[in-house]
Amino acid sequence: MLLRATALAVIASAFLATAAMADFSHTTCTSPKFMAYMSSHIGRGKAINGGKQNPRSVLYGPVTSATLVSNTGKTIVCEVTLTLGGHAGPHTIHGRFTGTAHGWQFLPAY
């Protein structure tokens, strides 16, 4: 598990240079590099809930599928499917990942 997280972090850090320039014009939501980038960030549990940063340390699973909503070149929006562990066991959730020059945002939709 730690090795997998480390590998995702390495892939994501390689992608960060591209994201920092905010040129998403050739990025797709299904690209393995961008899916790893989304997974590594969403997996840390940083999500916006009700306009506030998620106070819980939620551990979302990796992104299993993604669909492009919009891509202006400066901002990319993807609908994603991933797993969320819970007391009753893991279940699939959907959400919206937005990448911009200033960072990213994940809005879960249970």
Number of domains making up the chain: 1
pTM assigned to the model: 0.68
- Give the domain extent around 43: 2-109
Output the 3-class SS for the chain: CHHHHHHHHHHHHHHHHHHHHCCCCCCCCCCHHHHHHHHHHHCCCCCEECCEECCCCCCEEEEEEEEEEEECCCCEEEEEEEEECCCCCCEEEEEEEEEECCEEEEEEEC
pLDDT, tens digit, 9 for 90 and up, residues 29-84? 999 999 998 888 887 555 555 555 555 556 677 899 999 999 999 999 999 998 87
